[in-house]
Chain A
Amino acid sequence: MIKNLNYILILLTIFILVAIGVIFIYGSSYSWVQSLQFANWRQTVTYQNYVSDMNVAVLPLSVALVILLGLCVPKRIFSGVALLQSMAALLVVSVLVVLVYGLKPGIGFLLITAVLIQAVVIGMTLVGSKRLSYEVNGFYLQIGSAVLHLGFILFVFDFVLLGESTLHLTVYWVSTVLISVGMILSFYSGEISRLAEERVSRR
């Protein structure tokens, strides 16, 4: 089970991503049908209902994705039974926060915890800690993956908790930069590593 945990998390992620995609196809088809029947349908109650229905359909899957994203973070630091325990603890506390304070604070708690753990992971990766476990090898790939996930967590956090705040766009741009840098480092780690080695050897 623990051996296959990463694989199971990836399969779940794929399933959720595709499922949200299917909902979006339905949404577009519905919009199309409505716009064929009534050109100004976006100014009607039907559009308001459509947005509400889409929110209802997308929300559970988005929450599941956030939970998966949150659960994926401790796997860098913990392994074996400790990983399962830390994941379960994070999930249970988040559910408790949801029950006591509501959905937004619950997801917010999960995301803040994930951001903090991810920041620790990045710090440990930077100093070359041997305690971290990655599915992939290579410094740039690992740091890229960590920065990319931090960017995504921050992105979701921004929309969940700061949507109406004046900080919304600032945090949005920070997450955009992290996602962009993370993707470049992850996808081109080999090339970046070679370039870095060449520069070092030239000195």
Chain B
Amino acid sequence: MINNEYLLAREFTSRIGQPIMFLILALSIGLAICVALPRLRKYSQAAAFSLVLLMASGWLVLIAFHYKISTSLVLVDPTGQLPSGRFMIPVWIENEKFFFWTLVLGVLVLIGRRRPVAYQSVLTMILAVFGILTFFTSNPFSAPLAGFHADLTNYAGVLASSLDPMVRAQAFHSLHGKMVGYYNSAYMWIHPPMLFIAYSTFVLAFVGNIFMLKKEREQDYERLAYTWAKPGFILLTVGLLIGYPWAVAAWAGEPWWYDPKINITLMMWLLYSAYLHARLYIHRRGMWVTTAILGYLGFLGVVITYLTTYVIPGIHSVAG
């Protein structure tokens, strides 16, 4: 099933993408320096714009690779019982997740109007840190879709090493199940981007919450935090709600109640819900700080939720 067209596309993606990633690293470091040094701050907007443009071009390369996968790879049932299928993989799986998150954050950093200078500076610095982290922890071009490639290689290995029809059929059903339930799932096209766009808006809300703690009663920061927490909360809630029916179907028969990732995600949702409730009485004594801290903790929840996938083993994790 693995053919030259796919292998060449994968190699091409890596060869084109790696220089883009080095440029992203360089621009991110440059952006951080521009923000840190007041003398260079006037260049930060241009640097941020270039970074986002570069990330967008990288993402286009990934889209082209995914398109190539859909046209070049065909999964054929060795028993002939199921129709052959193609992979329609969304562009936010594996290492592409954090890349996508950074790209969305970059767009949100750029589209801001009439934001306080200090707020925009902190936000731009966070974007620079995200760019650096993307290079070191989630480079989608060093080994494009490594997990998917491993699935294909394992399947091809079984087909090459065994003539036993049972073994071949078992290997096919394993990959076919993953294709239908994960790689090609409509849910994968909707649920992750909703959550990653939500996470990006929560970064903007978080910066507002930081300034709320620093500058008591500064309405601008409170307004900014709330403005960005709103779309984030809507996307997070709807994204999670959409996830439940999928989980029921995909994890049928598997123990997934109180899975660590699900626990932490719900904790994050509960904290943002508490934040939005607290905000209703923000002018009461003590509620300004309470609201800011809840927003702050909510974002801590976002970070922990993301890390849980890679650290704590579970049905919704890649750890272990």
Whether both chains belong to one complex is answered with yes
CA distance A188 to B233 in the complex (A): 13
Q: Is the beta-carbon distance between A10 and B278 smaller than 8 angstroms?
A: yes
Q: Is the beta-carbon distance between B267 and A14 smaller than 8 angstroms?
A: no
**Total CB contacts across the A-B interface at under 8 A:** 102
Residue interface bits A43-60, CB-to-B below 8 A is 1, else 0: 100010011001000000
Q: Is the beta-carbon distance between B237 and A25 smaller than 8 angstroms?
A: no
Interface residue? B74 (CB, 8 A): no
Of the residues A10, A20, A31, A51, contact of B260 by C-beta under 8 Å: A31
Q: Is the beta-carbon distance between B277 and A13 smaller than 8 angstroms?
A: yes
Nearest neighbor of A14 in chain B, beta-carbon distance: B274
Q: Is the beta-carbon distance between B281 and A18 smaller than 8 angstroms?
A: no
Of the residues A31, A35, A183, contact of B237 by C-beta under 8 Å: A183
CA distance A10 to B312 in the complex (A): 34
B61 CB, min distance to chain A CBs, angstroms: 34
Interface residue? B234 (CB, 8 A): yes
Interface residue? B264 (CB, 8 A): yes
A123 CB, min distance to chain B CBs, angstroms: 24
Interface residue? A172 (CB, 8 A): yes
Q: Is the beta-carbon distance between A21 and B320 smaller than 8 angstroms?
A: no
Interface residue? B8 (CB, 8 A): no
Which residues 216-247 of B sit at the A interface, judged by CB distance below 8 A? Answer: 230-231, 233-234, 237-238, 241-242, 244-245
Q: Is the beta-carbon distance between A39 and B270 smaller than 8 angstroms?
A: no
Residue interface bits B261-280, CB-to-A below 8 A is 1, else 0: 10110110011011001101
**How would you classify the secondary structure of chain B's contact residues: helix, strand, loop or mixed?**
helix
Nearest neighbor of A7 in chain B, beta-carbon distance: B281
List chain A positions with a Cβ less than 8 A from chain B: 7, 10, 13-14, 17-18, 20-22, 24-25, 27-28, 31-32, 35, 39, 42-43, 47, 50-51, 54, 135, 169, 172-173, 176, 179-180, 183-184, 187-188
Q: Is the beta-carbon distance between A28 and B264 smaller than 8 angstroms?
A: yes
Q: Is the beta-carbon distance between B238 and A180 smaller than 8 angstroms?
A: yes
Q: Is the beta-carbon distance between A32 and B280 smaller than 8 angstroms?
A: no
Q: Is the beta-carbon distance between B271 and A18 smaller than 8 angstroms?
A: yes
Of the residues B257, B259, B264, B273, contact of A25 by C-beta under 8 Å: B264
What are 29 A-B contacts with C-beta separation under 8 Å?
Answer: A10-B277, A14-B277, A17-B271, A17-B274, A18-B270, A20-B270, A24-B263, A25-B263, A27-B260, A28-B260, A28-B261, A28-B263, A28-B312, A31-B258, A31-B312, A32-B260, A35-B314, A35-B320, A42-B255, A42-B315, A51-B257, A54-B258, A135-B280, A179-B241, A180-B234, A180-B237, A183-B234, A184-B234, A188-B230
Interface residue? B120 (CB, 8 A): no
Q: Is the beta-carbon distance between B277 and A32 smaller than 8 angstroms?
A: no
Interface residue? B113 (CB, 8 A): no
Which residues 187-208 of B sit at the A interface, judged by CB distance below 8 A? Answer: none
Q: Which B residues are in CB contact (< 8 Å) with A20?
A: 266-267, 270
Q: Which A residues are in CB contact (< 8 Å) with B271?
A: 17-18, 21
